[in-house]
Amino acid sequence: MSRVLSVSIPDDLMQALERQAWARATTKSELVREALRSTLERDHWSETFERNRLSPPTLAPEEIETMVDAVRADMRSTRAP
């Protein structure tokens, strides 16, 4: 299920969003969703490292991709309907 969220965006930011969406051949909505997902994932990892007082690990790109996929799957499974 999807919901509609109205957000006010300054003109310069909207223009940058439109340019980026066009360059990526995607919609503005998808680009905003992608940015939100990225921010939530980054915050999740920051909170995890802070909570456990860990330094970010040095990982191979493949390991990072596997971890990100796992977090995304976890976030999808815990979304409220």
pLDDT in tens, 1-35: 889 989 999 999 999 999 999 999 999 999 999 99
Given this model, what pLDDT does residue 57 score? 64
Per-domain residue ranges for the chain?
12-77
pLDDT range class, residue 71, cuts 50, 70, 90: confident
- Nearest 5 degrees, angle CA 8-CA 71-CA 53? 95
C-alpha distances in Å from residue 15, one per residue of 22, 51, 81: 11, 38, 33
pLDDT range class, residue 62, cuts 50, 70, 90: confident
Q: Which amino acid, one-letter code, is at 31? A: L
Q: Which two tokens stand for residue 52?
A: 């456990």
Q: Three-class SS of residue 9?
A: coil
Reference 43, options 69, 71, 16; nearest CA is 71
Instruction: Say if residue 81's pLDDT is above 70.
Output: no
pLDDT range class, residue 44, cuts 50, 70, 90: confident
Instruction: Say if residue 54's pLDDT is above 70.
Output: no
